[in-house]
Amino acid sequence: MIVFLRRLAADRKGASAVEFALILPILFLLHIGAAEALQAYVAQRNVAHIASTMADITARNRTISNAELNDVLSASVAVMYPFPSVRLQQRVSSISADGSGTITTDWTAKKDYTAAGSPSLPQGYLRSNESVIVTDVIYDYKPTFGFFLPDTIRMVRHAYVRPRLSAKVEKVS
């Protein structure tokens, strides 16, 4: 019996399998965590792309109608694919400063936007007789697994683009 125990203790044939079995759960959790973080990053980039695309498309017009604004808001939802767009909130606005530098919101269009408050600009962004298109995008990201990230991550992005063809993008009916 003692000979058998000595031979068993000296045998190293199954050591790799035991080590792998001990390491596998850690490797699995690292893989899931990395995949979760990558998905959150991709969602955040999509939100930033939506904000900049909406502002850029709107700023390329001299005038814009309600139907065109609805098209911009609806088409930008496709950028969120493959993530569900039901948690996406969008707002596009035109903000201008008059000759005395008083800043006002000329018009706003929204799609599922529920956040309170009016669109805003960084301090000193507009000078007298200038205007800008401002887009606000909010997305509530829910991780697939939820092991490492919070239950919901709110992603908020803004974009500011000056009109390309005129001093101000006017809204027409």
99-158 pLDDT, tens digit each: 888 888 999 999 999 888 888 888 888 888 899 999 999 999 988 877 777 888 999 999
- Torsion sign over Cα 44, 45, 49, 55: positive
Contact indicator for 103, 97 with CB cutoff of 8 Å? yes
Q: What is the DSSP letter of 80?
A: G
- Torsion sign over Cα 69, 74, 77, 78: negative
* Separation of CA 27 from chain center: 29
Confidence of residue 63 (pLDDT cuts 50, 70, 90): very high
For residue 2, with 0-12 CB atoms within 10 Å meaning exposed, 13-18 middle and 19 or more buried, which class applies?
exposed
**Cα–Cα distance, 125 to 2 (Å, whole number):** 85
Cis peptide before 82 (omega within 30 of 0): yes
pTM of the model: 0.81
Residue 43 identity (one-letter amino acid)? A
Residue 133 identity (one-letter amino acid)? I
Q: What is the mean pLDDT of residues 160-165?
A: 93
Adjacent-strand bridge partners of 88? 139
Does the pLDDT of residue 88 top 90, yes or no? yes
- Nearest 5°: CA angle at 111, between 168 and 96? 20
